[in-house]
A and B are shown apart, each in its own frame.
Chain A
Amino acid sequence: MNTIVCIKQVPDTTEIKLDPVTGTMIREGVPSIMNPDDRSGLELALQLRERHGGTVTVITMGPRQAEAILREALALGVDRAILLSDRKFAGADTLATSNTLAGALRALPFDVIITGRQAIDGDTAQVGPQIAEHLDLPQVTYVERASLETPAALRVRRAVEEGHQTVEVDLPCLLTVLAGAVEPRYMSVRGIIEAYNKEIEQWDYSRVTVDERAIGLAGSPTRVFKSFSRGAKNACEPRELPVEEAVDLILAGLREKFII
């Protein structure tokens, strides 16, 4: 079974701090990581390969620096790593991104495509299902586990609000995987050394089967009109008081707001 995992390099948002005065994001010094949901998706792909044979390919769209996560994937044992990088891809919203990725995936053999549920920088959870639509594949989202049910179908466990569903899905298909559901493995020392002897394929626009008008900024129906940090607009001046005086102050506040 051949699996392709779409991965993304993201800033580690758990490391982002807000400037207490301006309320703006401090991005400097924030490390870049492989998106956590994608890391679990990659682990699921490696487990499927261990059980059923086949190959695992990783692909990412991004600038040159995104090679770092491909190298990491190679160290974890993937067979093939592809960097999709071209100025034409830049400025893409989720639809244009999904068009680019789908265009690249058309050129590759696969039974299963895996994406993370969502990336921690954008939190959209849109690119996976959009790829599935472009490639006319059935999709299962919020996946925690998957196994081969018959030669032509996977059995998948997915999380929904009220519990867990079991879903059967015909191959080929696309799954979006939740972080935390599958514990990702660590890189081995040997894996890390070997990763540096493996090639990362560089693909530009010429390798991608997609209309130029459907990608990048031009292919993006949505635009950021403005962005802002939540700011410190409500910031209060915290008061340090003896316990009973603090309680007086709280009670006064609650009375003023008619809460008590």
Chain B
Amino acid sequence: MDKTEYKDIFVFAEQREGVLQEVAAELLGKARELADKSGERVRALLLGENVAPLAAECIARGAHAVLLVEAPELAVYTTEPYAQAMYHLVATRHPSILLLGATTIGRDLAPRLSARLATGLTADCTGLEISDDGDLLMTRPAFGGNLMATILCKEHRPQMSTVRPGVARPRPLDPGARGDVERVTIPFNPVKFRTRVTGFEPAERSRVDIAAARVLVSGGRGMGGAEGFRLLESLADALGAEVSSSRAAVDDGVAARERQVGQTGKTVRPDLYIAAGISGAVQHLAGMEESGYIVAINKDRTAPVFQVADLGIVGDARQIIPALERRIRLTRSK
């Protein structure tokens, strides 16, 4: 394989029902950052039915150009039509790097595609960099977040990665950005379409998005149940924050699952994360350690949460949280 024949970064611009997904904006921004360093170009791969209006958004988020595939076969995501379209785009244009979001769609599509392309794929990455040799360094957690590994795909192209939502920040929208939009027609082979989506049952609409919050007041078992969580809600109110939680508090029925931070919950990176009564299982730490400033309050001096905290207080969060709230309200009223 001649690596010099492969260049540019392709980003799967995931859309659902005509809405460009947040992770697509994040990846376009990240790809642009990498491309600016290596002197390459970023192409957004925009697939769906009636999705042309999103091309401008892809360009405003960092793509130099867009490959647009509109087809009724792509109206609702199923593996094979998307795999055929992506395979066609990649096999005819030879990108060096192909990035997808680590969503249920990205993680269904990417491994299928990597096997068809006979190339390497690194799952659920939290860090991407270009090495001195020009290869992609893909960093990801393993062992439930206990271990980080940096993966290379040196002798195969494209270098494929799914990237965890929330780990990169999108570039601000640049409405002045210009780029080409190229329409591509795919020679589909419908004989291989052997799955059909026949029904959909929406989950109860999530009222909160902890991943979007700038400040999170997060509680665990150490808050002592629902009463303790009311203290957190009150502090969150004073700070203009959202309440989040550890898995333990969710399992106890004290907090809603949509508020859970960690490996099986959401990855968050607010400016401020207050961990109250959370001991800090690695699965939890994996979901919040990238926060800007971490304050941990726990009775147990040896709690692992202190290993990632910027400020650690050994004490009872049920006393400290309301005292902190009082002082903040006082400051605000001055």
List residues of A whose CB falls within 8 A of some B CB: 11, 13-14, 16, 18, 20, 23, 25, 93-95, 98, 120-130, 132-134, 136, 138-142, 155, 159-170, 173, 220-230, 232, 234-241, 243-244, 246-247, 249-251, 253-254, 257, 259-260
Main secondary structure of the interface of A (DSSP, over half): mixed
Task: Decide: A166 near B104, CB < 8 A? Known: A139-B79, A224-B149, A253-B310.
Answer: no
Task: Decide: A243 near B320, CB < 8 A? Known: A124-B123, A249-B313.
Answer: yes
Residues in A neighbouring B294, C-beta threshold 8 A: 234
Residue pair B115, A160 in contact (C-beta under 8 Å): no
Task: Decide: A94 near B121, CB < 8 A? Known: A167-B196, A224-B150, A228-B148.
Answer: yes
Q: A141-B107, A243-B323, A247-B324 are in contact. List 10 more A-B contacts (CB 8 A).
A: A98-B115, A124-B111, A129-B111, A133-B116, A163-B201, A164-B203, A165-B200, A224-B150, A236-B312, A239-B313
Residue pair A229, B147 in contact (C-beta under 8 Å): yes
Residue pair B309, A13 in contact (C-beta under 8 Å): no
Task: Decide: A18 near B144, CB < 8 A? Known: A167-B198, A224-B151.
Answer: no
Question: Which of B26-34, B65-73, B153-161, B176-184 contacts its partner?
Answer: B153-161
Residues in B neighbouring A221, C-beta threshold 8 A: 118-120, 153, 155-156
Question: Which of B37-45, B91-99, B224-232, B300-308 contacts its partner?
Answer: B300-308
Whether B114 is near chain A, meaning CB under 8 Å from some CB there, is yes
List residues of B whose CB falls within 8 A of some A CB: 16, 78-80, 103-105, 107-108, 110-112, 114-116, 118-124, 137, 141-156, 192, 194-203, 215, 239, 271-272, 281-283, 285, 289, 292-298, 301-302, 304, 306-315, 319-320, 323-324, 327-328, 331
Residue pair B111, A243 in contact (C-beta under 8 Å): no
Residue pair B153, A16 in contact (C-beta under 8 Å): no
Task: Decide: A123 near B196, CB < 8 A? Known: A133-B112, A238-B313.
Answer: no
Residue pair A236, B122 in contact (C-beta under 8 Å): no
Q: Which residue of A lies closest to B264 (CB)?
A: A180
Task: Decide: A238 near B285, CB < 8 A? Known: A124-B124, A164-B203.
Answer: no
- A162 to B46 Cα, complex, angstroms: 21
Residue pair A227, B148 in contact (C-beta under 8 Å): yes
Residues in B neighbouring A259, C-beta threshold 8 A: 215, 271-272, 293
Residue pair A20, B150 in contact (C-beta under 8 Å): no
Residue pair A243, B319 in contact (C-beta under 8 Å): yes
- A127 to B324 Cα, complex, angstroms: 49
- A243 to B316 Cα, complex, angstroms: 9
User: How far, in Å, is B258 (CB) from chain A's closest CB?
Assistant: 11
User: How far, in Å, is B149 (CB) from chain A's closest CB?
Assistant: 4
Residues in A neighbouring B323, C-beta threshold 8 A: 243-244, 246-247
Q: Point out the residue from A164, A222, A228, A249 that lies within 8 Å of B200, measured CB to CB.
A: A164
- A120 to B264 Cα, complex, angstroms: 11
Residues in A neighbouring B289, C-beta threshold 8 A: 230, 234
User: How far, in Å, is B81 (CB) from chain A's closest CB?
Assistant: 12
- A109 to B150 Cα, complex, angstroms: 38
Residue pair A222, B120 in contact (C-beta under 8 Å): yes
Q: Which of A95, A132, A169, A235 has the most chain B CB atoms closer than 10 A to its own CB?
A: A95
Task: Decide: A123 near B307, CB < 8 A? Known: A129-B108, A130-B112.
Answer: no
Residues in A neighbouring B108, C-beta threshold 8 A: 129, 139, 141-142
Residue pair B148, A230 in contact (C-beta under 8 Å): yes
